[in-house]
Structure 1
Amino acid sequence: MRQMTNILKGFFPNIPIYAAIGNHESFPRDSFPPPEVPEVWEKFGIQWLYDTIADQWEKLVKGPAPSSIRFGGYYSVLIRPGLRLISINTNYCYRFNWWLLYKSVDPGLVLRWLVSELHDAEKRGELVHIIGHVPPYYTDCYSQWAHQFSRIVTRYSHIIRGQFYGHSHMDEFRLHYDVNSPQKPIGVQYITPNNGPFNNLNPSFRLFYIDGDYPETTRKVLDYETWVMNLTHANKFDAPHWYQLYSARRDLQLPTLDPYDWDQLVQRMAQDPELFSKYRRYQVQDSDMYAKRSCGEKCRRKVLCTIVDGDKLMPPKCHPHD
């Protein structure tokens, strides 16, 4: 972690960098005991990790680390006037974190803390971006936790203007629907692809364009572009070549990146095999390995159902096995 901090600082010396904790940071990997249970924390706690993270993040943002990092690996910070960034520790919903079998109700108290932060942001008139590692609607996150997260997003959807995650290694998104009105799209979980080759994928990175600094700014995600490096080409010519794979609005024909338009995209992909094939190529980062495998009707339904049925405790919108 110290090595990564130094690399990032070297390349971006004057840009604040805000991080989210992933499942490989702990040792043993995936092990995140609940810090609010004293008898557990005294024996098995990972205070060494949270203290290290706080120390490293202070260097990246050039300011004091919030105390919540040292408690549970999450934090909230005002990054622009009226724009708050909340970094959540989604290892407390991760199904391979076996401590969740010991304490399953809001381990790490992350959801309680998140509600408190959103409540205060609402009172102050702030807009919010959320970052995390495991997407709450990803299959690795417990569905009960994800549903409670859904309820929180429903309550505060008017101020949550972006959610950004990783972990899946693919280029994906998940849609939030209002828990009280299940047909109404209210949010998007953007899942950025990985910058390594795991598994049969090309290294990638993404640039988001956010509504900027002016009096009536919405702080919405206006567009994004994904860049990839083709490994077949790199191995053949012994030289990495990065190229822009796609731009969301241009190549997926999105009027805006609002939840409604993403929902409409799913409807269009369900009717248009060519459009889905294009999305599938983006999802797997233009991988030559995946290009050899077809994604037929069953595969297409599964991909599309996964986007709209992230909250397993809400009525399903489609049935992947029909």
Structure 2
Amino acid sequence: MEIANLVVTLICVISFTCTHAKIGYFWHITDFHYDPLYTSQGDTRRHCRRADERGSSGHHRALGRYGDYSCDSSLELIDSAARYMRTRHSENVEFVLWTGDIIAARYTGNEDDKYQAIRNMTDLLSRTFSSHFVFPVLGHLDPAPSAQLTNLWMHWLPLEALQTFQNGGYYTIEQSHSKLRIVALNTNLFSIRESNSLQARNQWEWLDAVLDKATTNKEMVYIVGHAAPGDDDCYAYDTSVDANAKYLQTVRRHSRIIAGQFFGHLHADTFRVIYDHDRPVSWALLAPSVSPHRDPAGSSNPGLRLYKFDTNNGKVLDYTQYYLDLSAANRNTGAAEWTAEYNLTQYYGLHDVSANSLHNLADKLRIGTPQETAVFNKYIRAYNVRHENSDSCDGACAHQHFCAITCLEHVAYRQCVEAAASALAAAGKSVPLVAPLITVLTILAFIIVLL
């Protein structure tokens, strides 16, 4: 009996140890939009930079220490995010995904100034994650691949990755202690301007070869990039229709080994489901930006995301979304208080993180019953990272979100939006004129920039 009890005890200890050893964490941070020229004495009409006293009557409202919704990120905001990340599961963090748009959209410095800004952010993350690897990808605001940029990140990437990164801005990382492979894409090569370039063709050939090899080696894959596939009127991006379709075909073909896709760019908290003949086969999670965000489609607070995953096979188990209430932080005389916003599986009542679960969640976002309305209200609060004015989204707006999540081909997205508009019109509900509205908003944004 004693021997039997001892065996049972040992089995329990071993089982617990193995189970515990599988669990790891990784951060996903994106869209810093760092502006070295931000100042709390600045003017929102000058992108929160100090105005020329001869040409301005002064800023029309006070700016905050940690930034402003109308402008890109201050150094203090990003520094506060780094300090907070150091306090969360630091002993179990395996790596960090850093998905682009490092510098501000309207930063007016020369190329040397831009590289210095990127160097400053790189140094900050190197200090924050001194014993971890950070895997960076390029956003559409970042410089093109170069030896100078490669040298900045060579302490994080192995030689093979450095070679493809310098030539095309993409690379792959094999996790030595598991069957997980990270594939970092340069989604700038999917743009209309770049999609027919030699670098774009090389990336497609390389991607096919990497995924074929991963299949042969029975590896699971994380695909990481800046801009997710699909179409979204809320934040237009010039992805080539052909490149978008080719990416979706690639994901469908290799869906069995793709354990997750991770993107930024939208400055919002959302997700995408990829289908193969109406069957959900893969998913992508889009993390909100570190930079605060304001535009006519909605505003958002700064966000950070920490994933929980099985380190043996890469299966994503959950994530916790953290955020900073920017208005409250600027009112507070002390340090910025980043807090947990929600936990994915608990917040939405998901059994797991899978294409099927996210498909079922997406289906609840089409407002119909009171239950579906409640789910959508939770989604839109998360989408805008708890911004105080985040709940103004009617039925047409909800359908547009549903279309963006589930219809990733450009034509399918337009058909989905038009079908929803027709249905709402037939029901006598207000319908936004999507294309004209986006055109007007684009013109207004252009005028604001000129001012």
TM-score (norm 1): 0.83
Aligned counterpart, 2:375: 275
Aligned counterpart, 1:246: 342
> Deviation of residue 108 (structure 1)?
4.8
Q: Which residue type is aligned with residue 242 of structure 2?
A: Q
Aligned counterpart, 1:39: none
Secondary structure of the residue that 1:290 maps to in structure 2?
coil
Which range is displaced more, 295-304 or 235-244? Answer: 235-244
Mapping of 1:36-47 within 5 angstroms? 46=144
Aligned counterpart, 1:196: 291
Aligned counterpart, 2:248: 150
Whether the 8 Å CA contact 1:93–1:136 is kept in 2: the answer is no
Q: Structure 1 residues 296 and 104, CA, compared in 2 at 3 Å: closer, same or farther? A: farther
**Structure 1 alignment gaps of length 5 or more:** 27-45
- Equivalent of 1:301 in 381, 384, 399: 399
Secondary structure of the residue that 1:282 maps to in structure 2?
helix
- Equivalent of 1:91 in 188, 211, 225: 188
Secondary structure of the residue that 2:284 maps to in structure 1?
strand
Whether the 8 Å CA contact 1:194–1:204 is kept in 2: the answer is yes
> Deviation of residue 212 (structure 1)?
2.0
In the aligned structure 2, how far is the partner of 1:152 from the partner of 1:313?
Answer: 18
Q: Structure 1 residues 65 and 105, CA, compared in 2 at 3 Å: closer, same or farther? A: closer
> Deviation of residue 313 (structure 1)?
5.0
Aligned counterpart, 2:268: 170
Q: Which residue type is aligned with residue 89 of structure 1?
A: N
Which range is displaced more, 229-238 or 134-143? Answer: 134-143
- Equivalent of 1:285 in 385, 409, 417: 385
Whether the 8 Å CA contact 1:5–1:60 is kept in 2: the answer is no
Secondary structure of the residue that 2:321 maps to in structure 1?
strand
Which structure has more relative contact order (CA 8 Å, sep 6+)? It is: 2
Aligned counterpart, 1:58: 154
Aligned counterpart, 2:354: 258
In the aligned structure 2, how far is the partner of 1:295 from the partner of 1:60?
Answer: 42
Q: Which residue type is aligned with residue 170 of structure 1?
A: A
> Deviation of residue 119 (structure 1)?
0.6
> Deviation of residue 4 (structure 1)?
1.5
Whether the 8 Å CA contact 2:231–2:410 is kept in 1: the answer is no
Mapping of 1:1-20 within 5 angstroms? 1-20=118-137
Q: Which residue type is aligned with residue 227 of structure 1?
A: Y
In the aligned structure 2, how far is the partner of 1:309 from the partner of 1:7?
Answer: 38
Aligned pair 1:111/2:208, yes or no? no
> Deviation of residue 61 (structure 1)?
4.2
**What's the C-alpha RMSD, in Å, of the aligned pairs?**
2.1
Secondary structure of the residue that 2:223 maps to in structure 1?
strand
Which range is displaced more, 305-314 or 126-135? Answer: 305-314
Secondary structure of the residue that 2:300 maps to in structure 1?
coil
Whether the 8 Å CA contact 2:231–2:409 is kept in 1: the answer is no
In the aligned structure 2, how far is the partner of 1:112 from the partner of 1:303?
Answer: 33
In the aligned structure 2, how far is the partner of 1:5 from the partner of 1:53?
Answer: 11
Q: Which residue type is aligned with residue 330 of structure 2?
A: N
Whether the 8 Å CA contact 2:221–2:258 is kept in 1: the answer is yes
Number of aligned pairs?
Answer: 288
Q: Structure 1 residues 282 and 206, CA, compared in 2 at 3 Å: closer, same or farther? A: same
Whether the 8 Å CA contact 2:350–2:357 is kept in 1: the answer is yes
In the aligned structure 2, how far is the partner of 1:113 from the partner of 1:290?
Answer: 41
In the aligned structure 1, how far is the partner of 2:148 from the partner of 2:163?
Answer: 13
In the aligned structure 2, how far is the partner of 1:159 from the partner of 1:62?
Answer: 23
> Deviation of residue 79 (structure 1)?
1.8
Aligned counterpart, 1:212: 311
Structure 1 or 2, whichever has the larger Rg, is 2
Q: Structure 1 residues 321 and 112, CA, compared in 2 at 3 Å: closer, same or farther? A: farther
Whether the 8 Å CA contact 1:138–1:168 is kept in 2: the answer is no
> Deviation of residue 196 (structure 1)?
0.8
In the aligned structure 2, how far is the partner of 1:135 from the partner of 1:307?
Answer: 11
Q: Which residue type is aligned with residue 279 of structure 1?
A: Y
Q: Which residue type is aligned with residue 133 of structure 1?
A: H
Residue identity over aligned pairs, in percent, reads 25
In the aligned structure 1, how far is the partner of 2:166 from the partner of 2:346?
Answer: 42
Mapping of 1:222-233 within 5 angstroms? 222-233=317-328
Deviation per CA, 1:259-297: give whole Å up to 9, x if none.
Answer: 001001111232410110011000000012434xx1111
Aligned pair 1:187/2:267, yes or no? no
Whether the 8 Å CA contact 1:164–1:190 is kept in 2: the answer is yes
Whether the 8 Å CA contact 1:209–1:222 is kept in 2: the answer is yes
In the aligned structure 2, how far is the partner of 1:106 from the partner of 1:265?
Answer: 37
TM-score (norm 2): 0.60
Which range is displaced more, 126-135 or 78-87? Answer: 78-87
